[in-house]
């Protein structure tokens, strides 16, 4: 059923589940949905920077705009004093000045990037410089980190904030809490947490996020969106009490939020296994008959997750030709009788073509 993002945001807000996990392709509308959700929960905050404030806020959220609180101040004349500047905001003020979370932020950042890469804050936490320790015990000072590392740094601050928020709200009696700034907080909306990580660190981040959410004993609710299959799969398996959806963009600016249940969620790890197996066979030029079975299975699982009634609808133009070729190698009768010859070079190219077609046209296969 087609709906506006505002209508979908209302559904998410009215749901009583502690955690709601949403998968969507890049460009589908995840960030716009987060804005709609925020405006429903807390319509009074109009300024973008104000959205990270804490005092009496009803929603705390992380999205692309959170990173806009940080910007580089380059020393263009000498190119030696590279600093990441921090716009004044209640978000970092509470984390660093009131809660003293600098050591935790540094630790989280290094866990997700490089133990030798160290953020160094100035006394009022309005800027940060980065140094890299080298093998000869000399530090490379005031280096400019990559965009991915910068995103990890911002996430490390938010993650430290979230840990503190959960700890404070876990105290049942508001009068016994160390601060009253969080008493009105109802929701945490995390829009596409950092995915510029290698696979191991991305898995660790998903596990870490799930762990602190599981420690939440208050009525705080969480909405999390992602375009990354690895993050989705790991987080799904770590969190037991949740609702899972897929957000799709339809024609004329409308959207559909499809609930995903059962095997539709569990298939992501198998998707990745099939994809990696096929890629390896192609790279090593070792395509055999059974790789057509894996390819068909991958198309079937993908069609099921995306809601296509028949997997052949995902095939490129001239669908019937490709469909017949795959059936030739995957029907039980032909496999049992061994009547099908080994794939020809052209047929092996078909496996490569169809795998690339799936990766290029259904973007959750793409590496980000």
Tens-digit pLDDT profile for the chain (368 aa)?
Answer: 789 999 999 999 999 999 999 998 888 899 899 999 999 998 865 444 344 456 668 999 898 667 778 888 766 555 567 899 998 888 888 999 999 999 999 999 999 999 999 999 999 999 999 999 887 767 899 899 998 899 899 999 999 999 999 999 999 999 999 999 899 999 999 999 876 777 778 888 998 999 999 999 999 999 999 988 778 888 988 888 789 998 988 878 899 998 987 666 655 666 777 788 888 889 988 888 778 888 888 888 788 777 788 888 888 888 888 888 777 666 543 433 344 457 788 888 988 998 998 888 875 544 44
Q: Are residues 134 and 199 in the same domain?
A: yes
Range of the domain at 337: 266-365
Looking at the structure, tell me whether residues 255 and 275 fall in a common domain.
no
> Given 261, 293, 326, which residue is the final one in a domain?
261
- 223 and 311 fall within a common domain: no
The CATH number covering residue 242 comes to: 3.40.50.300
pLDDT of residue 264: 62
Domain end, chosen from 225, 240, 261, is at: 261
How far is it, in rounded angstroms, from Cα 47 to Cα 328?
60
Same domain assignment for residues 274 and 160: no
| Tokens (6 digits) for 325 | 């070729």
What is the total count of domains within the chain? 2
Among 213, 238, 261, where does a domain finish?
A: 261
Co-location of 89 and 238 in the same domain: yes
What b/e string do you get for 75-111 counting C-beta neighbours within 10 Å, with b at 16 or more?
eeeeeeebbbebeebbbbbbbbeebebbebbbebbbe
Q: Report pLDDT for 8.
A: 97
How many residues belong to the chain? 368
CA torsion 302→307→311→315, rounded to 10°? -80
Does residue 135 sit in the same domain as residue 270?
Answer: no
Domain identity same for 20 and 77? yes
Residue 144 exposed, middle or buried by CB count within 10 Å (0-12, 13-18, 19+): middle
Q: Is 137 left (phi over 0), alpha (psi -120 to 50) or beta?
A: left
Q: What is the Cβ-side half-sphere exposure of residue 143, based on CA atoms within 13 angstroms?
A: 17
Same domain, 330 and 361: yes
pLDDT at 298: 86
CB atoms within 10 A of CB 138: 9
Q: Are residues 155 and 293 in the same domain?
A: no
Query: Does 141 lie in the same domain as 13?
Result: yes
Shared-domain flag, residues 238 and 283:
no
- Are 228 and 303 in the same domain? no
């Amino acid at each position: 059923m087609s709906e506006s993002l505002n209508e979908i945001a209302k559904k998410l807000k009215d749901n009583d589940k502690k955690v709601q996990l949403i998968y969507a392709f890049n460009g589908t509308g995840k960030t716009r949905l987060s804005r709609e959700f925020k405006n429903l929960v807390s319509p009074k905050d109009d300024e973008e920077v104000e959205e990270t404030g804490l005092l009496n806020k009803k929603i705390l959220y992380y999205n692309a705009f959170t990173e806009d609180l940080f910007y580089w101040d380059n020393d263009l004349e000498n190119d030696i004093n590279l600093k990441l500047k921090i716009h004044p905001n209640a978000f970092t003020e509470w984390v660093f000045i009131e809660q003293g979370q600098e050591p935790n932020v540094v630790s989280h950042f290094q866990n997700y990037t490089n133990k030798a890469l160290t953020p160094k804050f100035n006394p009022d936490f309005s800027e940060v410089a980065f140094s890299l320790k080298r093998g000869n015990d000399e530090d490379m000072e005031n280096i400019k980190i990559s965009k991915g590392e910068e995103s990890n740094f911002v996430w490390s601050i938010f993650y430290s904030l979230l840990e503190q928020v959960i700890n404070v709200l876990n105290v049942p009696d508001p009068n016994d809490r160390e601060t009253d700034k969080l008493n009105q907080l109802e929701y945490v909306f995390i829009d596409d947490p950092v995915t510029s990580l290698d696979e191991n660190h991305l898995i660790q981040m998903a596990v870490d996020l799930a762990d602190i959410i599981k420690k939440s004993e208050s009525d705080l609710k969480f909405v999390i969106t992602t375009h990354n299959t690895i993050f989705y799969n790991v987080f799904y398996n770590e969190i037991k009490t949740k609702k899972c959806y897929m957000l799709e963009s339809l024609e004329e600016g409308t959207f559909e939020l499809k609930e995903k249940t059962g095997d539709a969620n569990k298939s992501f790890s198998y998707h990745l296994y099939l994809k990696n197996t096929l890629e390896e066979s192609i790279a090593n030029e070792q395509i055999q008959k059974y790789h057509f079975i894996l390819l068909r299975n991958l198309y079937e699982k993908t069609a099921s997750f995306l809601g296509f009634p028949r997997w052949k609808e995902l095939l490129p133009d001239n669908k019937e030709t490709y469909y017949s070729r795959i059936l030739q190698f995957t029907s039980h009768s032909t496999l049992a009788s061994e009547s099908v010859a080994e794939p020809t070079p052209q047929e092996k190219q078909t496996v490569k073509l169809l795998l690339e077609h799936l990766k290029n046209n259904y973007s959750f296969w793409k590496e980000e």
